[in-house]
A and B are shown apart, each in its own frame.
Chain A
Amino acid sequence: MFALAGMNGLVIGAIYALAALGVSLVVGIMNVINFAHGELYILAGYFSYLFANAFGMNFALAMTLAVALVFLFGLLIEYTLIRPTYGNDMYSLILTFILSIVLQNAYLLIFGPYPNKPPNWVGGSTLILGSFYYGNQRLAALIAGSAVITLVFLVIKKTWFGRIIRATSQDREMAELNGVNTKRLNMLSFGLGCALAAAAGVILAPIFPVTPTAGVPVALTAFVVVVLGGMGSLWGCVIGGLIIGLVENFGAAYISTAYKQVFSFIILILVLLSRPSGLFGRREA
């Protein structure tokens, strides 16, 4: 049971990390908290379900298309809802909160309250360490999640886009003076943040089918992960995501499944008591 809970924790942890990276990116660069993050995660799940099940697309194509569409939707949200609110963080908070409610109800009207599930990528299961069989779909999700996280790190560390993202989140005005079109960067990074939520959504949807409100706990956990890991720290997202994923699953396995979410908050409180700026956060941000 220990190893099984550990595997489950890793899979969920990788997805939390992915969702948290999207939140962290947007907070770091734009100082905007996107309360509709979870709904975009779910939107990608619905898209991949729709494309694969109703239109009969190949699952990989359906997923890619779903992420691309959510990215475009993210650009649109930035342009229409977020851009007019720069300078007042509270407005964007309220607007994205309203958006999340609107989207939840739209999903309910369009797809109904029942869980919808895109097809599995792979079937069967694999014997892990000679002790238990683990679903191949979950293993594939872990690999896909890790691959996307690695890709994000490579982009942030190695490319011009990553360099200007880091520079802008440290000193926005200076980055503009160094030739960065920060307005356009805002739009792109908001879209990218949404696309990361979408990537988490399409990877996890075959395992945890999508419902109109299934994004709420994921987004909530993503916010917890960002705070736990430290605002603006990418490593914080990854380590924080894994910690929360593992703690939730060990807690559920050994104590009670009903308190699954409580465990992550207990960890959060314990960490914040000793390190108020999170695990990898800078003391003075």
Chain B
Amino acid sequence: MLEISGIDVFRGETQVLWEVSLKVRPGERVAILGSNGAGKSSLLAAITGTLPPQRGTITFKGAPLAGLKPYQITQLGVALVPEGRRVYRDMTASENLEMGAYPRRGRSQLHRTMEQVLRIFPVLDERKHQVAGTLSGGEQQMLAIGRALMSRPELLLIDELSLGLAPVITKEIYRALAGLVEETTILLVEQNVEQALHHSQRAYILESGRMTRNGPSAELMADDDIRRAYLGL
């Protein structure tokens, strides 16, 4: 589904990723772990086209993404739940969801997808006509996920789902995600390593811009080094 091989990514003059490679198969849930500043968000930005890599290739469903603008990559079926949620604060919750359905692939099925999303996050149904800026952090995160789902993506990228949320809320959202339609592949970026490993099949570990390890999540969870470094156990 998604194949990244040997990409170097720069933010301005500064190199943030070195020869990063990764592979996500259809239907898989893959986590990218790493501490603050390890380059996790830059990796997602490289996939969405916001920060095109200087070297290396990214292919999605077998087609290279090089030279495509973010809005074109979205049309292909990639959707991002950005760090910090970034809902449209002055628009209502339902308008935010509608914006997610703007790509052609989402627009024709807007009403059906909207129903599905509201079923996954019932609280959004109650808040439909409320301006997004007045929603709680957890509700905004649900809205950001719902907005991404509205384009009926094949690959869902989630950046720091748990950031700034109460653990109870985080758990609730992860539970909702687990119930998501099977055909959506998920690439998850998290600082909350325990949650991420728990909700993924495989994981990659990113350290100062380089991939240092990868493997099945259950295996990494049991690994002593990882437990010490990331779980504080």
Residues of B with C-beta under 8 A to A160 = 102
With both beta carbons as reference points, the residue of chain A lying nearest to B78 in the complex is identified as A177
A240 to B70, CA, bound (A): 37
Residues of A with C-beta under 8 A to B48? 177
Chain A 176-191 near chain B by CB (<8 Å), digits 1 or 0: 1111111000000000
A167-B88, A179-B71 in contact; A173/B102 too (CB < 8 A)? no
- Residue A163, interface by CB 8 Å: yes
Complex alpha-carbon distance, A178 and B147, angstroms: 9
Note all chain B residues with C-beta closer than 8 A to A182.
71
B102 touching A176, Cβ below 8 Å: no
What are 29 inter-chain pairs, A to B, with CB distance below 8 A? A163-B95, A163-B98, A163-B99, A164-B99, A164-B102, A166-B88, A166-B90, A166-B95, A167-B91, A170-B88, A170-B89, A171-B86, A173-B50, A176-B69, A176-B70, A176-B71, A177-B48, A177-B50, A177-B70, A177-B71, A177-B74, A177-B80, A178-B102, A179-B71, A179-B102, A179-B106, A179-B151, A180-B71, A182-B71
Which residues 79-97 of B have a CB within 8 angstroms of A? 79-80, 82, 86, 88-91, 95
CB-defined contacts of B39 to chain A, threshold 8 Å: none
Binding site for A on B (CB under 8 A): 48, 50, 69-71, 74-75, 79-80, 82, 86, 88-91, 95, 98-100, 102-104, 106, 147, 151
Chain A interface size band reads: 10 to 19
User: Could you tell me if A181 and B69 are in contact, using CB atoms closer than 8 angstroms?
Assistant: yes
A residues in contact (CB < 8 Å) with B: 160, 163-164, 166-167, 170-171, 173-182, 282
Question: Of B69, B90, B99, B106, which contacts A175 at CB under 8 A?
Answer: B99
The tally of CB-CB contacts under 8 A between chains A and B is 61
- Chain A residues lying within 8 Å of B80, measured Cβ to Cβ, are 177
- From B105, which residue of chain A is reached at the shortest CB distance? A179
With both beta carbons as reference points, the residue of chain B lying nearest to A157 in the complex is identified as B95
Chain A residues closer than 8 Å to B69, beta-carbon distance: 176, 181
The SS class assigned to the A binding surface is: helix
CB of B210, distance to nearest CB on chain A (Å):
26
Question: Which of chain A's residues have a CB closer than 8 A to the CB of B95?
Answer: 163, 166
Shortest distance between the CB of B68 and any CB in chain A (Å): 12
B99 CB contacts on chain A under 8 angstroms:
163-164, 167, 175, 178
Check if A174 sits within 8 Å of B88, measured CB to CB. yes
A140 smallest CB distance to B (angstroms): 35
- Give bound CA distance, A163 to B95, whole Å: 8
Find chain A residues with CB under 8 A from B147 CB: 178
Contacts of A166 in B (CB 8 A): 88, 90-91, 95
Report the nearest A residue to B107, measured CB to CB. Answer: A160
B103 proximity list for chain A (CB < 8 A): 178-179
Enumerate chain A residues within 8 angstroms of B98, measured Cβ to Cβ: 163
B82 contacts which chain A residues (CB < 8 A)?
A: 174, 177
- Docked complex Cα distance between A179 and B89 (Å): 18
Task: Give the residues in chain B near A170, CB-CB below 8 Å.
Answer: 88-91
Minimum distance in angstroms from A58 CB to a CB of chain B: 39
With a cutoff of 8 Å between Cβ atoms, the chain A residues found around residue B71 in the complex are 176-182
The residue in B48, B88, B103 that gathers the most chain A C-beta atoms within 10 A of its C-beta is B88
C-alpha gap A170/B99 in the complex (Å): 12
Most buried by B among A166, A174, A179: A179
Nearest chain A CB to B74's CB is how many angstroms away? Answer: 4
Least CB distance from A185 to B in Å reads 10
Cβ-closest chain A residue relative to B150: A178
Q: What A residues does B74 contact at CB under 8 A?
A: 177-179
Specify which chain B residues have a CB less than 8 angstroms from the CB of A164 in the assembled complex: 99, 102
- In the assembled complex, the CB of A97 is this many whole angstroms from the nearest CB of chain B, namely 31
For A173, list chain B residues within 8 Å (CB): 50, 70
Of chain A, the residue at the smallest CB distance from B86 is: A174
19 extra A-B contacts, CB within 8 A, seeds A163-B99, A282-B90? A163-B98, A164-B99, A166-B90, A166-B91, A167-B99, A170-B90, A171-B86, A173-B70, A174-B82, A176-B71, A177-B50, A177-B74, A178-B71, A179-B71, A179-B74, A179-B104, A179-B151, A181-B69, A182-B71
Chain A residue with the shortest CB-CB distance to B74: A179
A163: chain B residues at CB < 8 Å are: 91, 95, 98-99, 102
Docked Cα-Cα span, A175 to B100, in Å, equals 9
State how many angstroms separate the Cβ of A155 from the closest Cβ of chain B: 15
Distance in Å: Cβ of B158 to nearest Cβ of chain A: 13
Report the Cα distance A142→B104, complex, angstroms: 40
Taken together as a complex, chains A and B put the C-alpha atoms of A164 and B96 apart, in Å, by 10
Residues B88 and A180 in contact, CB atoms below 8 Å apart:
no
Chain B contacts of A178 at CB under 8 A? 71, 74, 99-100, 102-103, 147, 151
Bound complex: CA A176 to CA B89 (Å): 16
Q: Chain A residues near B90 (CB, 8 Å)?
A: 166, 170, 282
